[in-house]
Structure 1
Amino acid sequence: MSTTTLDLAIATWRKSSYSQSSSGCLEIAEQFPHTLPIRDSKAPDRAPVIVPRATWAAFVSATDGGALSAQGRLR
């Protein structure tokens, strides 16, 4: 397994346009080619979760396609 250090100081974070200003949500930094840092908008100083882009794409596909139940389990 290779390790890569991401320079999160250059990260440009964005959150969904569906998010309300007072509520917490996830923010992502999309400029890294193979990984996707994800952080909590209410705790931006905490370390982000970093996932492979393919993993994020599979998660988004599962949520968009209705493959997850309200409890987060596969249907």
Structure 2
Amino acid sequence: MNTDTTRPTLLGLSGWWKSSYSAGAGGCVEVNDSVTGYVGVRDSKLGDNSPVLVFEPHEIRAFVLGAKNGEFDHLLA
């Protein structure tokens, strides 16, 4: 993740959504892609009070493809 200060904070935005897999799990992460060129990720349990991690689309793409490839399956144990 790039830590430059030119990324927007994405705080206070509407349009957050979370995976259908999070139902009944006591919380999950939410994502927001309403600002072109950025994807925000936050803790759904904290909602608007959650800090937001901001990624560029290529960073999210690398993570999602890695997850689909099973690279993070050890975290499910």
Q: TM-score category by the smaller chain?
A: 0.7 to 0.9
Is it true that 1:66 corresponds to 2:70 in the alignment?
A: yes
From the CA coordinates, give the structure whose radius of gyration is larger: 1
SS in 1 for 2:66: helix
CA distance, structure 1, for counterparts of residue 10 and residue 21 of structure 2: 28
8 Å Cα contact 2:29-2:41 kept in structure 1: yes
- Runs of 5+ unmatched residues, structure 1: none
Q: How many residues align?
A: 72
TM-score, scaled relative to structure 2: 0.74
More helix by share: 2
Other-structure match for 1:17: 20
1:2-41 equivalences in 2 (<5 Å)? 3-6=6-9, 8-21=11-24, 23-41=26-44
CA distance, structure 1, for counterparts of residue 5 and residue 70 of structure 2: 34
More strand by share: 1
- Runs of 5+ unmatched residues, structure 2: none
**Identical pairs, percent:** 26
CA distance, structure 2, for counterparts of residue 65 and residue 22 of structure 1: 23
Moved over 3 A (4+): 4-8
Is it true that 1:52 corresponds to 2:56 in the alignment?
A: yes
- Across the aligned residues of Structure 1 and Structure 2, the Cα RMSD in angstroms comes to 2.2
